[in-house]
Structure 1
């Protein structure tokens, strides 16, 4: 078959799936934005990324930006069709940036499978979760509703969808959920596994941490409230006081990935400054973002890993920490309840209970033998439910096979 992946930052969520399909003899191609130079497992073609859209008001600009990107992707698709005679049997795409909006107008006969990562909602979600950041809540609710317009449009057009977790699938309207199959992208549990000989050299330091030492880790793409950075930092004074030999390693960029920007400076600085006078900074290490091998080594060294999140997309880092054998203390929020059973394969604490979080982290640091069954069960669960090669990739290939076996969509009038 001809299979086309579409993602502005390809391979994104699809490196393993694209490689596996190509390995099975399918002709796999990816359409991505110009300027994307990430290594790709398959041949890549580019569309011209749109210039920033200068449209007011902001709600109109939001849809205009994704619509313009969708138009650029569709124009590139039409060149592939008319110049090269390319016709995909299946299109697999991430709809988040609008690229899949108009591909059915170019190839109406192709099956369209989209990655249903999250549907923005105005209530019962990340938008209204944290009362500390509810300034101008009405405007935020309206913005969240507007942000979902192109996602709904794409899912209506799609023949099927994949969502990585049941929670993320549940954010979409009930009338569209029948299109969504739940299957995680997968964790390579052969590569990410416990290693009693692991070590991690702290960047810019002569300190090397080793498995078995009292190491507390926190990982987030960006250090911001959506991933509970503020709750974690507020818990640190009590944790460091209770555990005078512990070291804390915090991985993440200083910018912002998901939530609103800080009033000034960076969220990292705001919440570090809030506790600066109450913590021993010589034992708290900020690394910025680190490369994949270093992250794996850090998770293998970690005695306790803290993962907090609003009701939002579940991070791969949580599953990787569990696969590496770290004891995870996480927030009692819907995405984590799907993975962690409190007291069996980790601990869950109230996102806003700073004292409770500090106590749980301190207890897990103090007595690793007590929590060894949790660590072992976490590892077993990752292998059984989220292993890339044994569980998730076969399931994804099964979904692909099912969709391509269905009757093609009806032809439309040519443009």
Structure 2
């Protein structure tokens, strides 16, 4: 078959799928933005991101997504007209509007969408954190307006895929039957326990699996992923565990939710809040790590804290479980789908700062008792999220029309 994969940050969720499809003899081509510099496992076509529309009001977000979709559709129409390219399958991520009008270009193709998350005015991330109150009507209008293109992407597709059952459940009930639940997959052959692992800090000191290491990982440090709660739990942890070392991975930009006020970063704001109660020689902000270093850090972690609003589940939590880390997760819907408290990890209420301190202290003080949880965590990933044995074969079947 001829297969076109579309993602503004390609390869994104198609990292393993694209080369696997090519290895099966399909002609696989990717379409992405012209500024995307990520290495690609397959040939890449590019489109230029349009200028923001001159539009204001509640429809701004949809206008931006629709303009991008129209730009992509025009580029694809030229591809068909000038090169005669007609794919059998068009598979895109629905999050940025890229797929909205492609059925108009290739009506004979099978259209698939990656349905990652559908914003809700209630019951998910919106309004979850009382620390950031907003007018409920204005918030609801903004949320509903923000999801319009996601609904259109799903309606226009022949089938869709979501990485977790909870993320699939956020979409309207009448459309869920077209969504398959298939995770992108975790490379358990690479992400496995290593008692001999070492992680080197920027100052040259080395951490080992025998050390009291607490880890916290996110693309960017912000409230959506519980950075504020984690930082507030640290003073007690450092006071009661004088050998503990805290390693915090993540940038200081914005990934989700609103930007920090007054030109600051969320990292700055919550570090300043607790700075005078922290031994900063034991709190290490290491920025965004190359992947091999991230793996090594997870392998030496004695306690890995993962917090999230009811939102998209991070790969990093599952990757930590795959290497056998003890994950202490927030008792929120996407985490509860994977972690069972006291069986393959620990769960703490998202806002329970004392609870987070206690859970981290217990994990640091008694690593032997956590060993069954660590082993069960890895088994969970092997049984449900293994890339090559479970997820990738299912995703290939989905694209080829057998699932």
Cα deviation digits, residues 290-344 of structure 1 (max 9, x gap):
1111101110111110000000000000000001111111100000010001000
The residue aligned with 2:21 is: 21
- The separation in 2 between residues aligned to 1:235 and 1:227, in whole angstroms, is 14
State how many pairs are aligned: 402
Runs of 4+ with deviation above 6 angstroms: none
Which has the larger displacement, 48-57 or 33-42?
48-57
Is the aligned partner of 1:215 residue 2:210?
no
TM-score under structure 1 length normalisation: 0.95
- The separation in 2 between residues aligned to 1:92 and 1:4, in whole angstroms, is 6
Matches within 5 A, 1:13-412: 13-57=13-57, 59-203=58-202, 205-264=203-262, 265-402=264-401
Aligned residues of 1:160 and 1:403 also touching (Cα < 8 A)? no
- The separation in 2 between residues aligned to 1:137 and 1:231, in whole angstroms, is 23
Aligned residues of 1:183 and 1:395 also touching (Cα < 8 A)? yes
The residue aligned with 1:413 is: none
- The separation in 2 between residues aligned to 1:19 and 1:186, in whole angstroms, is 14
- The separation in 1 between residues aligned to 2:382 and 2:210, in whole angstroms, is 22
- RMSD of Structure 2 on Structure 1 (CA): 1.0
* Secondary structure of the corresponding residue to residue 298 of structure 2: helix
* Secondary structure of the corresponding residue to residue 151 of structure 2: helix
- The separation in 2 between residues aligned to 1:185 and 1:4, in whole angstroms, is 18
- The separation in 2 between residues aligned to 1:304 and 1:14, in whole angstroms, is 30
* Secondary structure of the corresponding residue to residue 122 of structure 1: coil
- 1:69 deviates by 0.6
Which has the larger displacement, 138-147 or 230-239?
138-147
- 1:172 deviates by 0.1
- The separation in 2 between residues aligned to 1:153 and 1:49, in whole angstroms, is 20
Cα deviation digits, residues 24-82 of structure 1 (max 9, x gap):
0000001111111211011011112111233112x222111111110111011111111
* Secondary structure of the corresponding residue to residue 59 of structure 2: helix
- Structure 1: gaps spanning 5 or more residues: 405-415
- Structure 2: gaps spanning 5 or more residues: none
- The separation in 2 between residues aligned to 1:135 and 1:143, in whole angstroms, is 11
- The separation in 2 between residues aligned to 1:228 and 1:176, in whole angstroms, is 31
TM-score under structure 2 length normalisation: 0.98
- 1:401 deviates by 2.4
Which has the larger displacement, 191-200 or 132-141?
132-141
- 1:403 deviates by 5.7
Aligned residues of 1:111 and 1:403 also touching (Cα < 8 A)? no
- The separation in 1 between residues aligned to 2:390 and 2:295, in whole angstroms, is 21
Aligned residues of 1:18 and 1:28 also touching (Cα < 8 A)? yes
- 1:212 deviates by 1.6
- The separation in 2 between residues aligned to 1:354 and 1:54, in whole angstroms, is 44
- The separation in 2 between residues aligned to 1:106 and 1:398, in whole angstroms, is 25
* Secondary structure of the corresponding residue to residue 371 of structure 1: helix
* Secondary structure of the corresponding residue to residue 107 of structure 1: coil
- 1:398 deviates by 1.6
- The separation in 1 between residues aligned to 2:304 and 2:15, in whole angstroms, is 26
- The separation in 2 between residues aligned to 1:184 and 1:158, in whole angstroms, is 19
- 1:135 deviates by 2.7
Cα deviation digits, residues 237-296 of structure 1 (max 9, x gap):
111111110000000010110011112211111111111111100000001111111101
- The separation in 1 between residues aligned to 2:15 and 2:279, in whole angstroms, is 41
- The separation in 2 between residues aligned to 1:403 and 1:155, in whole angstroms, is 19
- The separation in 2 between residues aligned to 1:137 and 1:220, in whole angstroms, is 28
The residue aligned with 1:412 is: none
* Secondary structure of the corresponding residue to residue 369 of structure 1: helix
* Secondary structure of the corresponding residue to residue 247 of structure 2: strand
* Secondary structure of the corresponding residue to residue 52 of structure 1: coil
Aligned residues of 1:101 and 1:154 also touching (Cα < 8 A)? yes
- The separation in 2 between residues aligned to 1:176 and 1:38, in whole angstroms, is 33
